[in-house]
Amino acid sequence: MTDTTTQIQTEISENNVVLFMKGTKEMPQCGFSSKVAGVLNYMGVEFSDVNVLADEAIRQGIKDFSDWPTVPQLYVKGEFVGGCDIITEMTLSGELDTLLEENGVGFDKEAADKIREANS
């Protein structure tokens, strides 16, 4: 394993929810990252954010690690979940709620319901 792969694996292993994104959860630097971070923040999910813009090795390394060509990338309990489109679909269908519940990750169910209500 490379140092970058080890760093990525450690981040994913040590945190229940990790979002590899452009920017930070407080200051996203692309629309897709902003959307996913916004959903997680609104739902009250505690997550680690990794700014891929701060490290080119991580930016490319996460794409190689997951075999997924784009950022953001969400991991829950060590498993790759998907990017912006997948997270959006899962949020609107309730699948994200189920995934978080099954993995013992706390979130605000009322906030999740409000997102779905606003988008129906």
Element (H, E) at 19: strand 17-21
Q: How far apart are the C-alpha atoms of 45 and 37, rounded to whole Å? A: 10
Q: Provide the domain limits for residue 94.
A: 3-118
Cβ atoms of residues 48 and 19 within 8 Å: yes
Alpha helices in the chain (DSSP H): 3-14, 31-42, 56-66, 84-93, 95-102, 109-118
pLDDT per residue over 67-79, tens digit each? Answer: 999 999 999 999 9
pLDDT at 97: 97
Give yes or no for a cis peptide into 69 (omega within 30° of 0).
Answer: no
pLDDT in tens, 21-61: 999 999 999 999 999 999 999 999 999 999 999 999 999 99
Q: Which whole number is the average pLDDT over 79-96?
A: 97
Q: What is the mean pLDDT of the chain?
A: 96
Whether the per-residue pLDDT at 2 is higher than 90: the answer is: no
* Number of domain units in the chain: 1
Which CATH number belongs to the domain containing residue 8 in this structure? 3.40.30.10
Tell me the whole-structure pTM to 2 decimals: 0.96
Alpha-carbon gap, residue 103 to 52, rounded angstroms: 25
Exposed / middle / buried, residue 120 (Cβ in 10 Å: 0-12, 13-18, 19+)? exposed
Are 87 and 96 within 8 A, CB to CB? Answer: yes
